[in-house]
Amino acid sequence: MAGINFKDIALLTYGDIDNGRIYYARRKTGKMMNCCLTEQAQEIIDKYRTDQVEEDYIFPILDRTIHTTEKQILERVKKTLKHVNKRLHELSEEIGLHTPLTTYTARHIFATTVKQMNGIPLETVSKMLGHKYTTTTQIYAKVTNPIIGKAITQIGSKIGERFQFPHSPEENAG
């Protein structure tokens, strides 16, 4: 979901979705955000929505009838985040990753993948993550060896398209 942080995901309501887009205020910065839902994400949301109203939370982390105060909401989100990160850490150990997975690492992976592997401008990734400054986004969008390799390959193919290098006399005779 566009690299949205866990707290903002937990607070999304059905009223935040309109015509295939999510509109919400980032909890940390207060910045208004909007992002397009993929067709698959919209299908999942529609599949599990039964008789919910616009004020209901999309994800079953919070219940508006139970979590009515700011304190209750934040405690529930914090407890759930701790549980999710614990399960992600267990998963990373099971599959032999050397870096523990967390929801925070997921934002970093999202930023790196979107920025570097797909060539999306840093300013766009910054907006997708809800950052005020691109310098913050630069911390998220790490440059990795596969990214460097892909860039070199792209540069090589662009150079090859624009320049014809002279061939040896033997190649020209053949």
Query: What would the pLDDT profile of 107-142 be if each residue is shown by its tens digit?
Result: 777 777 777 666 778 787 777 777 778 887 777 666
DSSP 166: P
Edge-to-edge, what's the strand order for the sheet holding 32-36? Answer: 17-18, 21-25, 32-36
Q: Are 9 and 26 in contact (CB under 8 A)?
A: no
Burial string for 48-81 (b: 16+ CB within 10 Å, else e) reads eeeeeeeebbbeebbeeeebeeeeebeebbeebb
Residue 159 confidence (pLDDT): 55
Question: Mind listing the pLDDT tens digit for each residue in 43-76?
Answer: 888 888 888 788 889 988 888 889 889 999 999 9
Which pTM value belongs to this model? 0.67
CA angle in degrees (0–180, nearest 5) for 152-1-94: 75
Question: Mind listing the pLDDT tens digit for each residue in 29-39?
Answer: 888 888 888 88
Question: Mind listing the pLDDT tens digit for each residue in 147-160?
Answer: 555 655 655 565 55
- What torsion do the CA atoms of 88, 94, 98, 101 make, to the nearest 10 degrees? -10
Residue 74 confidence (pLDDT): 92
pLDDT class of 83 with cuts at 50, 70, 90? very high
